[in-house]
Amino acid sequence: MADAQAEGQQSVQVAEVVARFLTEHGVDRVFGLQGGHIQPIWDQLARRGVRIVDVRDEGSAVHMAHAHTELTGQTAVALVTAGPGVTNTVTAVANASVSRIPLLVIGGCPPIPQSNMGPLQDIPHTAILEPVTRVSRTLRSADQVLREFDEAWARASGDRGEPGPVYLEIPTDVLRREVPPALVLDEHLRAKPKRRPQPHPDDVAAVAALIRAASRPAVISGRGARTTDGTELVRLLDASGAAYLDTQESRGLVPDAHPAAVGSARSAVMRDTDLLITVGRQLDYQLGMGSPAVFRHAKIVRIADTASELIDNRRGEVEILAEPGAALGAIADALKDHAPDTAWRDELKAKHRKRAEDYRQALHTTENGADGHIHPNRIFGALDALDGDALDLGETIMIADGGDLLSFARLGITRCARYLDVGAFGCLGVATPFGIAASLAYPERPVVAVTGDGAFGITATEVDTAVRHGAKVVVIVSNNRAWNIERYDQAENYGLVAGTELGDADFAAMARAFGAYGVRVTDPADLADAIRGALEHAPAVVDVVTSQDAPSPDSGKGLGFVPDYQALTPWNDAEVERRKGEQS
């Protein structure tokens, strides 16, 4: 029976029931911005010792919950007030939805007696959030609140569909109502173990047969691969002889030193593989939508624990709906007597090593741009130079944010413990919120967030949050005074630059105004020492004055232009040719 009965048979307030549900499910912190509509829950959480990470904008609260979930595996909670408090979360909730990140957003709602009478901060929150959540509900019955939370928590974790954010709101008068102890059931309070569906033996055998027949197998992993620690993924790579590409969703699962890791040869892998195995990864724009124009020779195998990562864009010769770790382990077991020919993979690895080393050298030597300012590559060269000295990159949580800067970061960040970035939604402004959540979750680890100046400005006031909560995040801003990937596209393809240039903001001075450590860098020779000082005095902002005359790799491939069929111009050109062939 209910714990409430053991506490003296007294009725309990709905707000207390919610707080107890969260603590029973391992929630030790919430990210939020206070308002009167949610004060009853806020109060109960504070009294129970739950850490309240109060922010400067509700969208940042959701970003922090997103990062906490992604880094710890524990579904995180954002708590926001009614009206603008809820609507401010929409972009961040959409980002979590596209990234399939489990989290719970609890919103405020005007009291029921004021319905349809023009109450304060009244707007149809649930209708607004429904398209970007797995559940979006108003809980008007005090008796049903606990059951609704239990169901929503399960839905966030992927029960009955893909994982992702859920939204629940409770009118303030309902939060203050009393619930009889008989209705506070343990079965709804208890955290439930996550289901681990197992692969069917016939499917495992079919995949093993395809691997044995393949000459150039490749594995691409995504979010779903994070359900394991990478052990089973490495076992499959060893047993199959496959080449391996990670994505931002799975970076760090397989060490770069592994023979299968050939990220610098990504284009060749995608073009030449004859068997593509996706593990918990959608075939979205970052992977050419899986098009035959991009994957020219590949049979496809899909492995995932949710249909959204199993059947999007391309169907597999075999599709395994199961816990990815279990499926990978079973396939590796089925290949125990397989002696793979790794000649193709070995050739790719050699190319990868050379390209990676050449690029690493460029990080340390790239000259300033024509405008005399620092090339963004030098930021990553400075981090590389500090590895093993002021920080251990292998223990560092790295975050990348921005448009142009993200393109440099994906190549320049060569080693880290965990990696987060803007994700498939391209949601700028995550660097500081993600970094705060990462530092609070792992205070013993260095956390470095690298961001463009445009992206940084979106959530720059969260530097204050970092100071107040002691989050030891170092934010490095590549300050080129522009939305540069768009500015480059305008200059190259339209001949007119309009509305893409920013002012010369001194973000180091801004950081100091908030009480953080701030340093501005105009000479690449000073970068390493500036970052060293920031690590010692974090939270910190390192404001690096970078060149606009440094087109990023993605700029050169047409990302800012937004081609008709594919995200990048080379893929788009191949897609156009494929479609011509189909019509002839």
Q: Give the tens place of pLDDT for each residue, 27-70.
A: 999 999 999 999 999 999 999 999 999 999 999 999 999 999 99
Q: Do 521 and 386 lie in a common domain?
A: yes
- Dihedral sign for Cα atoms in the order 217, 223, 224, 226: positive
Q: Do 320 and 448 lie in a common domain?
A: no
Q: Do 222 and 97 lie in a common domain?
A: no
Type of residue found at 169: E
- The answer to whether residue 567 sits within a structural domain is no
Is residue 70 flagged as an active site residue? no
- 3-class DSSP state for residue 499? coil
CA distances from 460 to 54, 326, 440, 522, 556 (A): 15, 42, 18, 21, 29
pLDDT value, residue 183: 83
Rounded CA separation 511/541 (Å): 6
- The CATH number of the domain holding residue 15 is 3.40.50.970
pLDDT value, residue 559: 84
Q: Which of 130, 486, 492, 582 is catalytic?
A: 486
Q: Does residue 182 surpass a pLDDT of 90?
A: no
Q: Do 337 and 241 lie in a common domain?
A: yes
- The answer to whether residue 222 sits within a structural domain is yes
CA 386 to chain centre: 26
Q: Give the tens place of pLDDT for each residue, 142-175.
A: 999 999 999 999 999 988 888 999 999 999 999 9
Q: Do 278 and 376 lie in a common domain?
A: no
Find the mean pLDDT for residues 191-216. Answer: 93
The H or E element that residue 64 is part of is helix 58-72
Phi, psi of 103 (to 5 degrees): -160, 160
- The CATH number of the domain holding residue 247 is 3.40.50.1220
pLDDT value, residue 129: 98
Please state the domain count of the chain.
3
Per-residue confidence band for 1, with pLDDT thresholds at 50, 70 and 90: very low
pTM of the predicted model, to two decimals? Answer: 0.93
185 vs 222, residue with greater confidence? 222
The H or E element that residue 279 is part of is strand 275-279
- The answer to whether residue 574 sits within a structural domain is no
- The answer to whether residue 305 sits within a structural domain is yes
pLDDT value, residue 4: 44
Rounded CA separation 318/307 (Å): 13
Which of the residue ranges 179-188, 435-444, 539-548 would you say has the lowest mean pLDDT? 179-188
Q: Which of 546, 548, 456, 458 lies closest to 507 in space, CA to CA? A: 456
- The answer to whether residue 26 sits within a structural domain is yes
Per-residue confidence band for 249, with pLDDT thresholds at 50, 70 and 90: confident
- The answer to whether residue 578 sits within a structural domain is no
Find the mean pLDDT for residues 364-393. Answer: 96
Per-residue confidence band for 195, with pLDDT thresholds at 50, 70 and 90: confident
Task: Supply the range of the domain harboring residue 433.
Answer: 366-551
The share of the chain scoring above pLDDT 90, in percent, equals 85
Q: Do 53 and 173 lie in a common domain?
A: yes
Beta strands in 404-522 (DSSP E): 418-420, 447-452, 473-479, 517-521
Q: Do 183 and 207 lie in a common domain?
A: no
Domain boundary among 348, 374, 403: 348
Which of the residue ranges 166-170, 249-253, 473-477, 523-527 would you say has the lowest mean pLDDT? 249-253
**Dihedral through CA 199, CA 202, CA 203, CA 209, nearest 10?**
130
Per-residue confidence band for 414, with pLDDT thresholds at 50, 70 and 90: confident
Per-residue confidence band for 584, with pLDDT thresholds at 50, 70 and 90: low
pLDDT value, residue 6: 46
Q: Which of 532, 514, 529, 506 lies closest to 453 in space, CA to CA? A: 506
Mean pLDDT over the full length of the chain: 94
Which of the residue ranges 89-103, 117-131, 489-503 would you say has the lowest mean pLDDT? 117-131
pLDDT value, residue 75: 97
Q: Are 527 and 383 in contact (CB under 8 A)?
A: no
Q: Are 145 and 174 in contact (CB under 8 A)?
A: yes
Find the mean pLDDT for residues 559-566. Answer: 89
Q: Give the tens place of pLDDT for each residue, 263-275.
A: 989 999 999 999 9
Rounded CA separation 281/247 (Å): 9
Q: Are strands 473-479 and 540-545 parallel, antiparallel or unpaired?
A: parallel
Q: Which of 472, 483, 584, 480 lies closest to 534 in space, CA to CA? A: 472
pLDDT value, residue 247: 87
Neighbours of 348 (CB within 10 A): 27
Q: Do 290 and 391 lie in a common domain?
A: no
Concatenated DSSP letters for 185-233? -HHHHSPPPPP-PPPPHHHHHHHHHHHHH-SSEEEEE-GGGGGS-SHHH
Rounded CA separation 186/290 (Å): 46
Q: Do 155 and 218 lie in a common domain?
A: no
Type of residue found at 144: Q
Q: Give the tens place of pLDDT for each residue, 8-37.
A: 568 899 999 999 999 999 999 999 999 999
Q: Do 107 and 148 lie in a common domain?
A: yes
Q: Do 33 and 97 lie in a common domain?
A: yes
Rounded CA separation 324/321 (Å): 8
Q: Give the tens place of pLDDT for each residue, 513-559.
A: 999 999 999 999 999 999 999 999 999 999 999 999 998 888 878 88
Q: Are 146 and 184 in contact (CB under 8 A)?
A: yes
- The answer to whether residue 44 sits within a structural domain is yes
Find the mean pLDDT for residues 365-379. Answer: 96
- Dihedral sign for Cα atoms in the order 169, 124, 460, 402: positive
In sequence order, the 6+-apart residues with CB closer than 8 A to the CB of 336 are 239
β-sheet bridge partners, residue 220: 245, 278
Q: Does residue 2 surpass a pLDDT of 70?
A: no
Q: Do 379 and 494 lie in a common domain?
A: yes
User: Which residue stretches of 426-499 are H helix?
Assistant: 431-441, 453-458, 462-469, 484-489
- The answer to whether residue 230 sits within a structural domain is yes
